[in-house]
């Protein structure tokens, strides 16, 4: 699977794109695996594994959608790690 990290997550992961051989894992499992490998990234994840908690810190985007923490991902999936934004 391909992970595309936008600022500030690219700096925390050390690169903008990662290719991982994972399949059948949930989005939350993926994020926990990244947190274990990249401790600086772990600080960006909420303790609670809910969509609301995650989306307040990070938007996990897929083609035309926002992933849920329970979504099962495959090797051909693309996950974009995008910061939440707000306007006024």
d(CA 8, CA 25): 24
Instruction: State mean pLDDT over 34-48.
Output: 95
Hey, what are 64's tokens?
A: 């035309």
The phi-psi region of residue 14 (left if phi > 0; otherwise alpha if psi is between -120 and 50; otherwise beta) is left
d(CA 22, CA 77): 10
Give pLDDT, residue 22.
86
Domains annotated on the chain, with CATH: 2-82 (3.10.20.30)
pLDDT in tens, 53-88: 999 999 999 999 999 999 999 999 999 999 998 655
pLDDT in tens, 14-28: 999 999 998 899 999
Hey, what are 25's tokens?
A: 């894992």
d(CA 66, CA 54): 11
């Amino acid at each position: 699977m391909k992970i595309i990290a936008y600022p500030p997550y690219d700096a925390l992961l050390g690169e903008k794109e990662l290719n991982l051989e994972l399949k059948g894992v949930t989005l939350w499992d993926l994020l926990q695996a990244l947190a274990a490998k990249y401790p600086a990234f772990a600080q960006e994840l909420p303790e609670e594994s809910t969509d609301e908690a995650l989306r307040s810190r990070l938007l996990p985007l897929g083609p035309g959608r926002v992933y849920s923490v329970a979504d099962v991902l495959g090797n051909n999936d693309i996950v974009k790690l995008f910061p939440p934004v707000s306007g006024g």
